[in-house]
Structures are given as structure tokens and as C-alpha cells.
Structure 1
Amino acid sequence: MISAQPKSTILVACDTRLSAQALSWGLECHLPEMQVISVWSLDDLKHRFHMEAPALVLLDEAMAMQAIRILSGFVEVRVRNARLAVLANELTQGQLSYVVHNRVTGLISRDRSLPELARELNLVMTGTPVVAEEFA
């Protein structure tokens, strides 16, 4: 009997349930090989991070600063088993600087189509840094 490989997990963390679920559902359509899970609170993010061992955590601007402070202390993030990407359009220059210097592999723009976003997230999961031209 052949057993299927477990799917890698993307954990999508947004500050509202609607945003988190909408983004997750869109990504599921374009990344069928991935398990996409949505969370909308820091407590749930920490819990799911430990339970799911995600390959990637995608954070919206509202969750980014606090979530990075929490997640950057975890061994999985420090040794790059879990990559971090941030939707960065709403971040200030100071916040962008903080994000760039704290183990974030992807600075992603919201001005992308879902197929483009999926392609960029695949690059981030392989360890390739992605910085949208708006933030370069």
C-alpha cells in the first residue's frame, strides 16, 4: 500500500476572521498541494503553530508586529523550518525595517492576483527571499 505524503501547511494569520478565511480559501484554489489554515488571534496563531508545524506563516499587517515578536523566538523559525511572509502594504517605514530584520523571508504586496501571490509564497517556502518592488 502506498501512503500519501502529508501536505505542507500554510498558516494564514489576519486580524479578522473574514480576512483570514477569504485569503485562505483563495490560496487553497491556487495551491491545492498545500493545507491552508486560517487564524485570527495571536493565541490561536501560537497554538496552531505548535500543532501544525507550518512550512509558511503568512501575516497581514495588523498581526505582523506582535506575531513576529512571538514567532521569531521559536526554534522552527530561527532555523528556518518555518518561513515568515508579511502582507506589507499598510506597514510604516519603521515597521518595514523591523520586519526585514526579524527572520521574514517575504515582503508581499496586496496588489497581486491570487496566482501571483501563490507563486511568490512558493518561492518563500523554498527559502528564496521575495520583496515586492513597492518595498525594495
Structure 2
Amino acid sequence: MSGQYEILCLENPLLDIQAVGDEKLLQKYGLKSNDAILAEEKHMGLYEDLFQNYKVDLNAGGAAQNTARGAQYVLPADSVVFVGCVGKDKYAEKLVEANKKVGLRAVYRYDEEQPTGRCGVIITGHDRS
């Protein structure tokens, strides 16, 4: 590795937590099928609910981190680096694992007070909520 990267991406990273659910799960959190929202306090339990009760698919997300993953997929190894801030929590650990799996170098600053950004996705049929 030369220590030089072709592409640098910088942004707030997200851990995308996806699972196949049903109407009952949507109702539990006051969600609509095929809708997107900014999470409120009443939605915070969704992330753990997905982890504990569903088969989850984890991906490194957020616009810049998605771009970095895509670029690293088509470019030679060690061509892309992503820089962002995460919480010092288990979600950050999952984010690190997700990036390692796809060969993306991610450099994170760990915040002691704020949690890692998360995006919970419930898949029902052809809809994503």
C-alpha cells in the first residue's frame, strides 16, 4: 500500500440495518409501507428489535460512504478511503465489519457521547420503509 488514495469521501456514516418484516412491525412503530422518515424517539427501539428478532442485513450507508463502497468495488484495492465520525458503540463495530467485508478503508473518529448513525429498513414485499 502506497498510502495514497485516488478518492477520499467525507461525511456522517450510517449503519443500514435491513430486515424483512410485516405490517405488524410497521404498526408497532407507527410506520407506513414504502415511506421514509426521520426517526423520532418513538422509533428508537426499532434498531434493537431488528437485531434481536429478525435476520438483519448490515451495510455501510450514508451517501458518501455508499459512493466510497461503490468506487472501491470497481477500482483497485486501496484506492478509496472514507472518513467520518461514529459513536463508541456496537453499531460502530458493525460498521467497521461491514466495510472490511467489502474492502473499504474507513477512518472513524469515535465520539463518547453521540451514537453511531443508523438507518432502519423494514422490507415488506416490494416495499422498503
Structure whose residues are more often strand by fraction: 2
Name whichever structure is richer in helix by fraction. 1
Q: Which has the higher contact order (CA 8 A, sep 6+)?
A: 2
| TM-score above 0.5, yes or no | no
- Using the size of structure 2 for normalisation, the TM-score is 0.31
Structure ID, larger Rg:
2
TM-score scaled by length of structure 1? 0.29
